[in-house]
Amino acid sequence: MQETQLTQLGRETKAFASPEEAVLERVPNPHPDTTYLVRFAAPEFTSLCPVTGQPDFAHLVIDYAPRDWLVESKSLKLYLGSFRNHGAFHEDCTVAIGRRLAAELSPHWLRIGGYWYPRGGIPIDVFWQTGPSPEGLWLPDQGVPPYRGRG
């Protein structure tokens, strides 16, 4: 098992001012020889509209099939929280998160679903993935209903 230096887990950690400053940490995958799915749901993700400065809200679902690394969950929460004062369109936020995780983890496969609450009366949902899912991977539905108040 590879050693890793965690700087956030189990320590008091201040919020990051921007996604660029945020540190994503990873830990060794204890089952690198097994194809399995890891899911993170962030039902209260927020960022700012780059035009109006008003808050935007989304329910993010991140699925990935790890290879050698797992994302450390506290660092992921802090990274996602760093978008709170970040101005970017829905598409940019969703794809940037997916790409950053893929770059840090080098998973077999990763996808992100950004289910955004309406802006101007229209919900904008954004989906990105690294490619086809691995054969034999159990891939449950992301569980977020089409917009009807997103109950």
Task: Give per-residue pLDDT as tens, 85-120.
Answer: 999 999 999 999 999 999 999 999 999 999 999 988
Q: What is the CA radius of gyration of the chain?
A: 16
List the catalytic residue out of 49, 63, 93, 141.
Answer: 49
Cα separation, 134 vs 145, in Å, equals: 25
- Verify whether residue 56 is a known catalytic residue: yes
Question: How much is the pLDDT for 150?
Answer: 55
Task: With a cut of 80, say whether residue 121 has pLDDT above it.
Answer: yes
Task: With a cut of 70, say whether residue 149 has pLDDT above it.
Answer: no
Q: State the average pLDDT for the chain.
A: 91
User: At the topology level of CATH, where does 26-119 sit?
Assistant: GTP Cyclohydrolase I, domain 2 (3.30.1130)
List the catalytic residue out of 56, 63, 92, 125.
Answer: 56
Question: How much is the pLDDT for 1?
Answer: 29
Of the pLDDT bands very low, low, confident and very high (cuts 50, 70, 90), residue 6 is: confident
- Verify whether residue 49 is a known catalytic residue: yes
Task: State pTM to two decimals.
Answer: 0.90
Q: Which residues contact 75 (CB under 8 A, 6 or more apart)?
A: 8, 9, 22, 23, 24, 25
Query: By the 8 A CB rule, do 113 and 123 touch?
Result: no
Task: With a cut of 80, say whether residue 4 has pLDDT above it.
Answer: no
Query: By the 8 A CB rule, do 113 and 127 touch?
Result: yes
